């Protein structure tokens, strides 16, 4: 059954996930009434000869000059100069989530947009049509201008787009999807580009992925402790209450539920390495940070990130900076830091697991026949490369402000770049999760003790059902991805 999203209801991350494929988007009477009211108000304002940015003026640093007299011609004036993007096309799922976020924002009725623009976005999301959006070119101020400009042009039948995964000239893609080119005037065009839906969508999807990986690492840490026979006192409720941090308290409580019944082997050191002993503190700090990002994403998903913003009931048009994606920029940079440290934890746990000096005497690299076979050796090498890639790219984007646009945009947030980078890193973190999961499954095969906690046994059983033992050696890329999906699905 095709998922349904109601533009009159709050927008959720689940809706963004669903929009990767064709989705039924509902714009009911309440939405149509307020969008129509906003459009009627725009006509009134223009009839009163009031100045409205983008309708009666040029754009950006050229706001002091008059725009084109014909409102339909003003759409070209808005969009043509934004055709300056570079780099690869953005992932189709992110683009479609972006268009859903923009549809929801425009459906608030505060953007002065024509109702037929909402209709076109609704129709597009019901097909496999995906505008081709360039990755590079946005600074996240005045909105995600260049990528959104490419999307608006694709909806008009200009530039390029995808249908069923095939890249085509946009006019051909529209015809193949059964869509018509979207007519725009200057206000419609500006409303499509002058916001932060790409930043919001990328951050929301990155958060969703990182949360799944965070839960998975928590479960895998419990399984690691049980297979090794660790003493679970590092999860003691009194210990974490004395620590006092809410995230750590909650993470440890979840880990105690998974490890309930864990019996120490008695052969491990009194104190485990930090990658086990300090895991509730590390994952707890990550949880606290993720809760902050949760709040930013929730606010962004409910935001009108436009300029100007129309308030028909008050008979005012307010010009300002709601398109300035600073909250998302800060949140995305924080999310990147979380990815780096949670990924580092998973990589260090895998390193411990393959080392016979620390893993309780299991074979080196967990090889079923060391020398004749190599077990996790390739997976560990790849994990080292993955964490290095993540850590190398964790420099905050939000501190890189560079004045541009004749100093009209004299400070910029670069939220778009931060959010897309966080999404890239989230995908790498998932591979680290899968690598650790494959290692734990193999440890059970080459001699680790059976889990003593029923929660840990359930995690291992799910992995055993999905991933065969490594005996003999084989390529493991698919196993890593499959194992990540198995563990992430356990507490969805």
Quote the CA–CA distance of 460 and 140 in Å, as a whole number: 44
| Both structure tokens of 327 | 């909250």
Both tokens assigned to 357:
């000096």
- The SS3 of residue 77 is helix
**Could you tell me if 18 and 28 are in contact, meaning their C-beta atoms sit under 8 angstroms apart?**
no
Cβ–Cβ < 8 Å for 342, 429: yes
* 292 included as an active-site residue: no
355: Cα within 13 Å, side-chain hemisphere:
8
Whole-angstrom distance, CA of residue 100 vs CA of residue 20: 10
Q: Six-digit token pair at 486?
A: 């198995």
Please, which residues bridge with residue 241 across strands? none
Task: Show the tokens assigned to 85.
Answer: 């993007």
Separation CA 368–CA 357 (nearest Å):
17
To the nearest 10 degrees (0 to 180), the angle between helices 326-354 and 377-392 is 150
Residue with tokens 């499954």: 441
3-state secondary structure of 317: strand
Q: How does DSSP assign 181-238, residue by residue? A: PPP--HHHHHHHHSS-HHHHHHHHHHHHHHHHHHHHHHHHHHHHHHHHT--GGGG-HH
Report the phi/psi class of residue 273: left, alpha or beta, with left for phi > 0 and alpha for psi in -120 to 50.
Answer: beta
Alpha helices in 363-414 (DSSP H): 377-392
| φ, ψ at 5 (rounded to 5°) | -125, 125
Instruction: For residue 60, give the DSSP letter.
Output: G
Catalytic residue, from 53, 65, 274, 445: name it.
Answer: 53
Burial label for 364, CB within 10 Å (0-12, 13-18, 19+), is: middle
d(CA 240, CA 251): 10
Instruction: Report the SS3 class of residue 27.
Output: coil
Residue 355 contacts residue 365 (beta carbons within 8 Å) = no
List, by residue number, the catalytic residues: 53
């Amino acid at each position: 059954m095709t998922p349904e999203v109601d533009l009159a209801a709050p927008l959720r991350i689940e809706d963004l996930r669903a929009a990767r494929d064709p989705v039924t988007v509902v714009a009911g009477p309440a939405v149509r009434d307020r969008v129509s009211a906003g459009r009627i108000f725009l006509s009134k304002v223009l009839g009163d000869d009031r100045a409205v940015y983008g309708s009666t003026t040029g754009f950006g640093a050229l706001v002091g000059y008059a725009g084109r007299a014909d409102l339909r011609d003003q759409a070209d004036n808005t969009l043509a100069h934004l055709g300056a993007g570079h780099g690869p096309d953005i992932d189709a799922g992110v683009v479609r989530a972006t268009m859903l976020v923009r549809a929801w924002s425009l459906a608030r009725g505060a953007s002065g947009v024509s109702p037929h623009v909402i209709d076109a976005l609704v129709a597009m999301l019901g097909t496999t049509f995906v505008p081709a959006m360039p990755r590079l070119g946005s600074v996240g101020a005045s909105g995600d201008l260049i990528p959104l400009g490419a999307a608006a042009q694709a909806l008009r039948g200009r530039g390029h787009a995808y249908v069923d995964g095939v890249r085509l000239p946009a006019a051909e893609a529209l015809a193949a999807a059964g869509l018509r080119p979207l007519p725009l005037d200057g206000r419609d065009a500006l409303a499509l580009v002058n916001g932060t839906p790409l930043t919001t969508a990328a951050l929301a999807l990155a958060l969703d992925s990182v949360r799944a990986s965070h839960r998975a690492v928590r479960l895998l840490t419990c399984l690691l402790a049980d297979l090794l026979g660790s003493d679970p006192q590092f999860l003691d409720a009194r210990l974490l209450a004395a620590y006092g941090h809410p995230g750590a308290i909650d993470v440890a409580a979840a880990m105690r539920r998974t490890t309930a019944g864990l019996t120490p082997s008695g052969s491990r050191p009194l104190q485990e390495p930090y990658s086990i002993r300090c895991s509730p503190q590390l994952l707890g700090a990550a949880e606290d940070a993720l809760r902050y990002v949760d709040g930013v994403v929730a606010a962004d998903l409910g935001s009108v990130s436009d300029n100007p913003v129309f308030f028909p009931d008050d008979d005012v048009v307010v010009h300002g900076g709601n398109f300035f994606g600073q909250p998302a920029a800060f949140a995305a940079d924080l999310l990147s830091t979380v990815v780096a440290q949670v990924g580092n934890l998973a990589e260090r746990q895998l390193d411990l697991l393959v080392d016979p000096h620390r893993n309780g005497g299991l074979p080196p690299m967990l090889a079923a026949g060391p020398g004749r076979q190599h077990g996790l050796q390739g997976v560990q090498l790849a994990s080292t490369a993955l964490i290095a890639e993540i850590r190398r790219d964790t420099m905050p984007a939000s501190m890189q402000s560079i004045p541009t646009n004749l100093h009209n945009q004299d400070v910029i947030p670069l939220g778009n770049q931060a959010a897309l980078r966080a999404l890239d890193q989230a995908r790498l973190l998932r591979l680290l999760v899968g690598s650790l999961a494959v290692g734990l499954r193999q440890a059970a095969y080459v001699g680790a003790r059976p889990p003593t906690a029923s929660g840990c046994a359930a995690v291992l059983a799910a992995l055993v059902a999905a991933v065969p033992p490594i005996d003999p050696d084989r390529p493991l890329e698919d196993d890593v991805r499959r194992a990540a999906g198995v563990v992430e699905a356990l507490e969805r």
